[in-house]
């Protein structure tokens, strides 16, 4: 089974006045649950995780920066799952 981090901190872009750079804000819990509900039929109920423990584990890498915890973790089992998640 291949594990994929489908979303690394889903964000909504908000225009930033300085230098034309976007500023990222966190999605609301309702937005996150709505996205998870759309993903579950595509990859299966058990392949979508919103738990803090899983999000924390998959939100880290070996780099020096702490980074952001993802809002949703998807465990894709096939390239078709990856394609479906990517398009959604």
CA 32 and chain centroid, separation: 9
Global pTM exceeds 0.85: no
CATH topology for 11-87?
3.30.43
Domain boundaries, the chain: 11-87
- Is the four-CA dihedral 32, 34, 38, 44 of positive or negative sign? positive
Q: Tell me: the pLDDT tens digits for 50-72? A: 999 999 888 887 878 777 788 99
Local confidence band at 48 (pLDDT 50, 70, 90 cut-offs): very high
Local confidence band at 3 (pLDDT 50, 70, 90 cut-offs): very low
Contact 10, 85 (CB under 8 A): no
Ramachandran region, residue 67 (left: φ > 0; alpha: ψ -120 to 50; beta: rest): left
pLDDT at residue 33 greater than cutoff 80: yes
> What pLDDT is attached to residue 63?
79
């Amino acid at each position: 089974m291949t594990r994929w981090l489908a979303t690394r901190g889903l964000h909504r872009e908000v225009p930033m006045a300085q230098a034309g750079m976007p500023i990222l804000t966190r999605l609301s819990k309702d937005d996150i649950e709505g996205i998870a509900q759309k993903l579950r039929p595509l990859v299966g109920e058990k392949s979508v995780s919103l738990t803090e423990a899983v999000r924390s584990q998959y939100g880290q890498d070996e780099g020096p920066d702490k980074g952001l915890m993802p809002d949703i973790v998807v465990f894709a089992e096939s390239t078709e799952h990856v394609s479906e998640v990517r398009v959604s």
